[in-house]
Amino acid sequence: MSIETITEKSLRGDELTKQECMEVLDYPDEGILEILDAAYRVRKKYFGNRVQVQMLLNAKSGMCSENCGYCTQSGVSEADIKEFPLRPAAELVAGAVSAKKSGASRFCMALSGIRYDDGLIEKLAESIRAVKKEADISLCCSMGFLKPAQADKLKKAGLDRINHNLNTEKNFYANICTTHTWDERVQNIKTCREAGLEICSGGIIGLGEGKQGAAELFMELKKLRPDSIPVNFYIPVRGTPLEKKGEKLTPHYCLKALCLARFSNPDSDIRAAGGREYHLRSMQGLALYAVNSIFVSGYLTTGGQPAGEGFQMIKDMGFEAEIEGVE
Ligand code: SF4
């Protein structure tokens, strides 16, 4: 199987086989420009040279009941992070207004936790209404499980999109979390979609899933057809259970994983998310040949590329930021 065949299949929207996925991840490092060029052909068909820029705000931090081994906010993590309940509406509005002023096309609010009481969902719905009134920006919430009525309430309040990641492939899931299941995650995605929310769902590369696991993850995502797929690269954090278990990632492997995300999900937004700066280092501009979306200004509990540098990188690489509402 040649990369040309894989590219043609991707351009047609055909599902890739496991063997084809592995071929992308196993592609020789010295051929990185060839494979990026092939991924770019697919990216260009659906997204031209446009890059969405998104900003993330940690809206509710820590105190989570779950034991996701990579997460600094889990109940079993000893990492030193700031914990706080849902931020007041005024702070969320200020974050969204600032994201819009910076030129971001979407504002993402992340809430720790897996299940939420109706009181919190009501407060969040009020904040969403306030954000939509003041900032009029596309809005995503990164959250745990929602009951159908809760998903419905958030959608009616104006929420556009929900982020709920698969994180890793089904058979590896118990290695990273035992307090809930992969199937529950899939069910939650279905619940949110039924409420009319757009779906953002991706994963984390480098948790120990290996190439086979990464290939499975992208194949499973293809079945779910998310509107958007964030690809995170695992950064070990001291005090978390997976601190010493992550994989050693190279910039070349990370780029190949982004190419695979593109080939296997050609018309979904592919976002280079957490770990981009840390693992791709000086090669991160090349990611734009495969992805059409990036975060700027940092992640949940780790810093990231400042917005100005992100926009400059996009321009320097010959791509165009999708800017909305710059004042
Ligand atoms: S459910 Fe979310 S916030 Fe809680 S430990 Fe897992 S990843 Fe972290």
**Contacts with 12 (C-beta within 8 Å, 6 or more apart), sequence order:** none
Classify residue 34: in a domain, yes or no.
yes
Q: Is 68 in the pocket of ligand 1 (CB under 6 A)?
A: yes
pLDDT in tens, 20-64: 999 999 999 999 999 999 999 999 999 999 999 988 889 999 889
Classify residue 327: in a domain, yes or no.
no
Q: How confident is the model at residue 325 (pLDDT cuts 50, 70, 90)?
A: very low
Strands 198-200 and 269-272: unpaired
Q: Is 207 in the pocket of ligand 1 (CB under 6 A)?
A: no
Q: Is 114 in the pocket of ligand 1 (CB under 6 A)?
A: yes
Classify residue 3: in a domain, yes or no.
no
Instruction: Give the integer Cα–Cα distance in Å for 120 and 122.
Output: 5
Nearest to 300 by CA among 64, 80, 110, 66: 110
pLDDT in tens, 142-198: 999 999 999 999 999 999 999 999 999 999 999 999 999 999 999 999 999 999 999
Q: How confident is the model at residue 326 (pLDDT cuts 50, 70, 90)?
A: very low
Taking the CA of residue 114 as reference, the ligand 1 atom at the shortest distance is 1
Instruction: Name the domain count of the chain.
Output: 1
pLDDT in tens, 222-261: 999 999 999 999 998 888 888 888 899 999 999 999 999 9
Q: What is the CATH number of the domain that holds 231?
A: 3.20.20.70
Q: How confident is the model at residue 299 (pLDDT cuts 50, 70, 90)?
A: low
Classify residue 206: in a domain, yes or no.
yes
Report the separation in Å between the CA atom of 160 and the middle of ligand 1, taken as the mean of its atom positions: 22
Classify residue 6: in a domain, yes or no.
no
Distances (CA, A) of 242 to 70, 143, 176: 5, 21, 8
Report the pLDDT value the prediction gives residue 72, as an integer from 0 to 100. 87
Nearest to 229 by CA among 218, 245, 241: 218
pTM for the whole structure: 0.93
Long-range contacts of 44-47 (CB under 8 A, 24+ apart): 45/11, 45/266, 46/266, 46/267, 46/292, 47/269, 47/292
Residue 159 is part of which domain span?
12-322
Q: Is 23 in the pocket of ligand 1 (CB under 6 A)?
A: no
Classify residue 19: in a domain, yes or no.
yes
Report the pLDDT value the prediction gives residue 246, as an integer from 0 to 100. 86
> Percent of the chain having pLDDT more than 70?
96
The best mutation among 63, 70, 73, 81 to test binding of ligand 1, ranked by most ligand atoms within 8 Å of the C-beta, falls on 73
Classify residue 4: in a domain, yes or no.
no
Structure-model confidence comparison of residues 327 and 49, the more confident one: 49
Report the separation in Å between the CA atom of 181 and the middle of ligand 1, taken as the mean of its atom positions: 12
The best mutation among 68, 72, 185 to test binding of ligand 1, ranked by most ligand atoms within 8 Å of the C-beta, falls on 68
Classify residue 135: in a domain, yes or no.
yes
